[in-house]
Amino acid sequence: MKIRRYVAKNTQEAILKVKMDLGSEALILNTRKIRKKGLLGLFSKPLTEVLAAVDEYGQKPASADQPGPFQSTLSNFAADPAEKEEKITILENKISSIEETLRKICEKVINEGKPAAGKEEQKNLKAGVTEFFYNNLVSNEVDPEIARKVVNAAASRLPASAGVSEMAAQLSGIIAGLLGKPETIKENSEGKPVTVIFVGPTGVGKTTTLAKIAANYLLNRKKSVGLITADTYRIAAVEQLKTYAEILGIPVSVVYTPAEMQEAISQYSDKDLILIDTAGRSHKNKAQFEELKALVAASGADEIYLVLSTTTSWKNCREILKSYSFLRDYKLLFTKTDETPVLGIVLNVRYMTGKSLSYITTGQSVPDDIETVNVDKITKNLIGSYLKDGPS
């Protein structure tokens, strides 16, 4: 038996390499994510490593003289990764289109074989569809009270004969409206640095998130950045930020008091962006919150971001929001979306606070795993896979 190792950008590409090299009879032994060695690995997306084996006496590995079952048909397809991804997308779209066509044909055949529903039957059908979507929202951890208001609002806009597709489209519009248009860091037209401070409970990933934003502004937007950390409670927190700053080649200051905060900000008056990290505060510790209030006030920040983890339970999240109610204005930033399959907490917090959404983080990679909130994606996550073309 021959065992070989393959490394690619993603699992799909790695499997293609296996099949082209070893043939369709190859056995996948192990799949895992790996990173490039060295400091540059911090700034690159993880690669996929696949360990595969084939019985050398059963089916011979494909070669240039003896192409495998996939080699002849996929040689051109695999030559260009960009072209490969484009063709995969086209195939996926075609499959989705075929599935949708078959679904419509089935619905038509079923409906033609039934007598027209009476008013009472239509009413029951609409109630059933409404309850179906209510249960779906609750299962995605949307607060039951919010879920009920949303589905009732959608149902009130639809005729009695409305089905699943119509309800899904109506819900999509309502939820997208509730989520609103995300707002990210705004540039200062007066030529002064934009000061941004990040606050939030312990363990939500504020420091890593700050590093991602700093790297993005420095590397992609060519802006000068200064870092300040007031996170002097957590072990090695300062060293973590200093490591990121050293890699990026940007300055970082450590402050302990409100006076030091103001001094550090004045030292970065020549920067385009000043990012301030704070210590995670337990929503049960009132004394620590008094210190945080003083630091936030001393910073005079142009923007405040309340960082929350999507893995936090809704019950705990409500307590956290109460603790940070002293903040006059802030934006919502959600982390760890890669660690949970449901995003009901995003809608819950947005509905409860009325504050604008901004960024979400999708992993640990700096600076890649952060993006502006995609309202379409979140809406589909909450409703389910009933919309093929996005909210309408």
Q: Would 314 be classed as within a structural domain? A: yes
- Quick one: 149 and 231 in the same domain? no
Q: What is the structure's pLDDT at 27?
A: 80
Quick check: 60 pLDDT over 80? no
> What would the mean pLDDT of 328-337 be, rounded to a whole number?
94
| pLDDT tens per residue, range 171-181 | 999 999 999 99
pLDDT at 123: 58
> Is residue 211 a contact partner of residue 369, using CB atoms and an 8 Å limit?
no
**Total domain count for the chain?**
3
Q: What pLDDT is stored for residue 45 in this prediction?
A: 76
User: For residue range 316-325, what is the model confidence (pLDDT) as tens digits?
Assistant: 999 999 989 9
Digit-coded pLDDT (tens) for 341-385: 899 999 999 999 999 999 999 988 888 899 999 999 999 999 875
Question: Is 385 within the bounds of a domain?
Answer: no
Least confident interval from 103-107, 245-249, 283-287: 103-107
Q: Is 149 exposed, middle or buried (0-12, 13-18, 19+ CB in 10 A)?
A: middle
Residue 107 lies in a domain: no
Q: Which helix (H) or strand (E) holds 214?
A: helix 206-215
Cross-sheet strand order for the sheet of 357-361:
252-254, 225-229, 273-277, 194-199, 303-309, 331-335, 357-361, 370-372
Peptide bond into 193 cis (omega under 30): no
Would you state the structure tokens that stand for residue 14, as one six-digit string?
């790695």
263: Cα separation from own chain's centroid: 35
Whether 165 and 217 share a structural domain = no
Residue after which a domain boundary falls, among 31, 61, 79: 79
- Inter-CA distances, 236 with 179, 233, 243, 279, 386, Å: 36, 9, 10, 12, 46
Quick one: which of 330, 343, 314, 313 has its CA closest to 278? Answer: 330
Contact 190, 214 (CB under 8 A): no
| 298 shares its domain with 240 | yes
Q: What is the predicted pLDDT for the residue at 102? A: 65
189 lies in some domain: no
50 and 22, same structural domain?
yes
CA angle 144, 203, 261 (to 5 degrees): 115
- Domain presence at residue 259: yes
Q: Which domain holds residue 342?
A: 194-372
DSSP 195: E
Q: Is residue 214 part of a domain?
A: yes
The partner residues of 371 in beta bridges, in order of sequence, read 360
Q: What is the pLDDT of residue 240?
A: 85
Residue 43, pLDDT score = 61
Q: State what percent of residues in the chain have pLDDT above 90.
A: 44
| Residue 305 confidence (pLDDT) | 97
Q: For residues 35-63, give the mean pLDDT.
A: 66
Higher pLDDT, 59 or 157: 157
For 267-289, what is each residue's pLDDT tens digit? 999 999 999 999 887 666 777 78
Q: Considering the domain boundaries, does residue 148 fall inside one?
A: yes
pLDDT category of residue 14 using cuts at 50, 70 and 90: confident
Mean per-residue pLDDT of the chain: 81
The residue among 28, 61, 79 that closes a domain is 79
Looking at the structure, do residues 270 and 326 belong to the same domain, yes or no? yes
